[in-house]
């Protein structure tokens, strides 16, 4: 059954308390002490208005089954908060519609970044936020409340094109969207080590391993967001040899097909070169299929062609071999 969104009202308090209580009681150790710890739930519309924010409920047959709030923070960021959908309304699209409404409202009010906190126990919520291209962003916090809540911070750029270097926690939390980008590129014909069709589990396994390399300190993953969705990526893999402390490989430069030719590849490249310099590198190397779209991008960015190796790899359809061209770029601090 479809859900309908509408602005929340203080008079929704009974339904709000029922929804919140139901969600919290799914997790061991979580207790709701409304008057002691969350009195704002008794008049949530007034509370959000007082923070210059907004509050929505999702209704099914006239009864609230989900809710979300959003309000401005400092530095152009907005916070997404109090996102709850009752168990029997999950999978209906209600949660995505609520998050979409809150993000669109924040964007329309000039937000450039969205932040949220999520209890470390709420694993379903983490998967939901990660699907919406939020990544772990900074240190966890302990609330010292009756539920002994410890929360992960999540964030994402919300508007336009933005590229960020992902740390270990962010890389691990971005595996889903990065797998989507990789699979879309391979299925579209990109020659990036895999054959098409690339299944999601295989794509995830690749990024899981790449995130572990980041955690070991041997690589950096950069992600590009377009209006709040991860649509592109590039990785820097340190050469890792005692005699090559100054060198790294640039790999997996990917922009999902629907987001191409908007300059995202160029922004990723500039950010990757800056990050490589920051990591102490002075020489970058990459290889790419001869004649691909990427060659124009690399040449434009000042990369120098070394030469082509014939029959280096199979095309993604597994039928024919293609030549691969090597490029390098010296980085000047």
- Token look-up 């070169």 returns 273
Question: What is the closest distance, in whole angstroms, from the C-beta atom of residue 189 to ligand COA in the complex?
Answer: 8
Of the pair 83, 231, the CB lying nearest ligand COA is at: 231
Nearer to ligand COA, 266 or 279 (CB): 266
Q: Characterize 263-296 residue by residue with b for buried, 16 or more Cβ atoms within 10 angstroms of its Cβ, and e for exposed.
A: ebbebbbebbbebbeeeebeebbbbbbbebebbe
Minimum CB distance to ligand COA, residue 294 (Å):
4
Which residues contact ligand COA by CB under 6 A? 185, 190, 192, 253-255, 260-266, 286, 288, 292-294, 296-297, 300
Smaller CB distance to ligand COA: residue 38 or 259?
259
Pairwise CA distance, residues 209 & 204, whole Å? 9
Whether the Cβ atoms of residue 19 and residue 64 lie closer than 8 Å to each other: yes
Strands 247-255 and 283-289: parallel
> Which whole-number Å values give the CA distances from 274 to 1, 29, 71, 163, 236, in the listed order?
50, 45, 33, 12, 11
32 vs 315 by CB, closer to ligand COA: 315
What CA–CA distance (Å, rounded) separates 330 from 333?
10
Q: Based on CB atoms, which residue is closest to ligand COA, 137 or 186?
A: 186
CB of 210 to ligand COA, least distance (A): 15
Q: Decide whether 60 or 262 has the Cβ nearer to ligand COA.
A: 262
Tell me which residue of 69, 56, 44, 75 sits closest to 4, measured CA to CA.
Answer: 56
Query: Closest residue (Cβ) to ligand COA?
Result: 265
Give the shortest CB-126-to-ligand COA separation in angstroms.
Answer: 28
For residues 248 and 284, is the Cβ–Cβ distance under 8 A?
Answer: yes
Q: How far is the CB of 297 from ligand COA (least distance, A)?
A: 3
Q: How far is the CB of 317 from ligand COA (least distance, A)?
A: 15
CA distance 150 to 119: 6
* Nearer CB in complex with ligand COA: 99/234: 234
How far is Cα 5 from Cα 284, in angstroms, rounded to an integer?
A: 50
CB of 266 to ligand COA, least distance (A): 4
State how far the Cα of 68 lies from the Cα of 70, in Å rounded to an integer. 7
Contact predicate 248/217, CB 8 Å: no
């Amino acid at each position: 059954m479809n859900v309908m969104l509408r602005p929340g009202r203080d008079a929704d308090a009974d339904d709000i308390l029922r929804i919140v209580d139901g969600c919290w009681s799914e997790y061991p150790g979580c207790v709701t002490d409304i008057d002691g710890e969350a009195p704002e739930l008794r008049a949530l519309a007034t509370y959000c208005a007082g923070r210059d924010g907004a509050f929505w409920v999702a209704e099914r047959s006239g009864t609230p089954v989900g809710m979300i709030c959003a309000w401005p923070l400092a530095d152009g960021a907005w916070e997404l908060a109090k996102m709850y959908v009752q168990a029997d309304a999950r999978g209906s699209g209600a949660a995505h519609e609520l998050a979409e409404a809150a993000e669109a409202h924040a964007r329309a009010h000039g937000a450039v970044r969205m932040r949220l906190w999520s209890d470390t126990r709420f694993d379903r919520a983490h998967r939901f936020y990660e699907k919406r291209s939020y990544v772990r962003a900074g240190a966890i916090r302990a609330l010292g409340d009756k539920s002994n809540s410890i929360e992960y911070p999540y964030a994402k750029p919300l508007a336009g094109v933005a590229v960020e270097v992902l740390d270990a926690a962010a890389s691990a939390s971005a595996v889903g969207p990065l797998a989507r980008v990789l699979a879309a590129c391979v299925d579209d014909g990109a020659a990036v080590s895999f054959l098409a069709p690339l299944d999601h589990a295989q794509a995830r396994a690749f990024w899981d391993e790449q995130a572990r390399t980041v955690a070991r300190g041997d690589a950096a993953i950069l992600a590009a967001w377009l209006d709040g969705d991860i649509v592109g990526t590039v990785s820097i893999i340190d050469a890792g040899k005692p005699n090559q402390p100054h060198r790294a490989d640039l790999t997996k430069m990917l922009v999902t097909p629907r987001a191409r030719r908007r300059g995202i590849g160029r922004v990723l490249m500039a950010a990757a070169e800056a990050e490589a310099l920051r990591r102490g590198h002075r020489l970058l190397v990459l290889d790419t299929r001869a004649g691909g779209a990427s060659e124009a991008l690399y040449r434009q960015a000042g990369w120098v062609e070394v030469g082509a190796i014939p029959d280096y790899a199979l095309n993604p359809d597994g039928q024919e071999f293609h030549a691969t061209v090597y490029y390098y770029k010296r980085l000047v601090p």
